[in-house]
Structure 1
Amino acid sequence: MKRSIVVMLVMMISLFSLPCKAQVEKTLEPKLENISWIAGNWKGEAFGGRTEENWSEPSGGSMMASFKLINDEKVSFYEIEIIREVENTLILQLKHFDNDLKGWETKDETVDFPLKEITVNKVTFEGMSFEKVNENEMNVYVDIEQKNGSIETVKFNYTK
């Protein structure tokens, strides 16, 4: 009995004394092929309603998406989004539209999110990030400025 306790203690000490290495995700090149997992027809809930976000596969140096929010069975607003390759990096740009397609931004204005980092399961832009949970689920985090000037990060959980 004493021998088996000693053996178990030695095994536990050996196990816990193994060198611990923090998992560091490798940063990937700013190429559309490294974020192609975003492509697909995604559905979720946010802002008290249903959301749809449909991303194309990379082609022509860009990916494009349409977004809509449905509240009380009516569209609240739309977005057109693109991620494009510009000068050896990526940029996410979007425009908002009311339910009658009247734009929120002026004709030549876009909301821009410069790239910060890409890893195997995450792409981070300034103010928006996409996180791959698995092949059929992703989270999108968007920083939204509130009326009082503070920033609130809103999480969109999507499934295919």
Structure 2
Amino acid sequence: MKNNFLILAFLCFSVPAFAQLKKATVKDLAFMSGTWVQKSDWGDLEEFWSEPNGESMMSSFRCVKNGKALFYEFVVIELEEGFPVMKMRHFNRGNVAWEDKEKPLLFPLVTLKGKLAVFEMKDKSVRLSYQLIAKNKLTVVLEEKDKNGQLKKDFFSFNRKLY
């Protein structure tokens, strides 16, 4: 009886979320498009997101501190098996990759509610949330588990770079 209740509860809460993801497209993430900047403890941050095109988006990111680039990211979001998946790679100065060339970090889209998109690694060790809170304000939350399994959150408040 207890197992039946658990199965029913799982289906009630997971099926609507899954159905929502099946309907998500890369175009639904257009709110992330633009050039976003922020000064933080990490340094001067700049993140560019392209408009959706060809069932994909791409992003480049750099962190500059004391006039030197510390690291970069290159990200694509592609439609995979019916829903968007973020694929990320990090690079040191000199374009030296952190990840193996055959294994980018994968973050399937797990939540899409209006102008909020949440991407999470399958092992749930890292989660990235993007939320457009105003026309020129994008908040990003990086949630990461440390070596001890403790959750650490970094909050970023980006402003749209206006040319």
Taking structure 1 as the reference length, the TM-score comes to 0.78
Query: Quick check: 1:138 aligned with 2:134?
Result: no
For residues 105-135 of structure 1, the C-alpha deviation after alignment (integer angstroms, 9 at most, x for no partner) is 1111111111111111201111111011111
From 68, 76, 93, the equivalent of 2:62 is: 68
Measured in 1, the distance between the counterparts of 2:134 and 2:148 equals 36
Counterpart of 1:100 in structure 2 is 94
Distance apart, 1:84 and its partner CA: 1.1
1:5-154 alignment, distance < 5 Å: 29-126=23-120, 127-154=127-154
List alignment gaps of at least 5 residues for structure 2.
1-19, 121-126
Indicate the larger mover: 45-54 or 60-69.
Answer: 45-54
Measured in 1, the distance between the counterparts of 2:45 and 2:105 equals 20
**Rg (Cα) greater in structure:** 1
For residues 6-28 of structure 1, the C-alpha deviation after alignment (integer angstroms, 9 at most, x for no partner) is xxxxxxxxxxxxxxxxxxxx989
List alignment gaps of at least 5 residues for structure 1.
1-25
Percentage of pairs with the same residue: 28
Secondary structure at 1:44 match in 2: strand
Displaced runs of 4 or more, over 6 A: none
Question: Would the aligned equivalents of 2:48 and 2:59 in 1 still touch at CA under 8 Å?
Answer: yes
Taking structure 2 as the reference length, the TM-score comes to 0.77
Query: Quick check: 1:156 aligned with 2:156?
Result: yes
Measured in 2, the distance between the counterparts of 1:138 and 1:130 equals 7
For residues 72-95 of structure 1, the C-alpha deviation after alignment (integer angstroms, 9 at most, x for no partner) is 110010000111111111111100
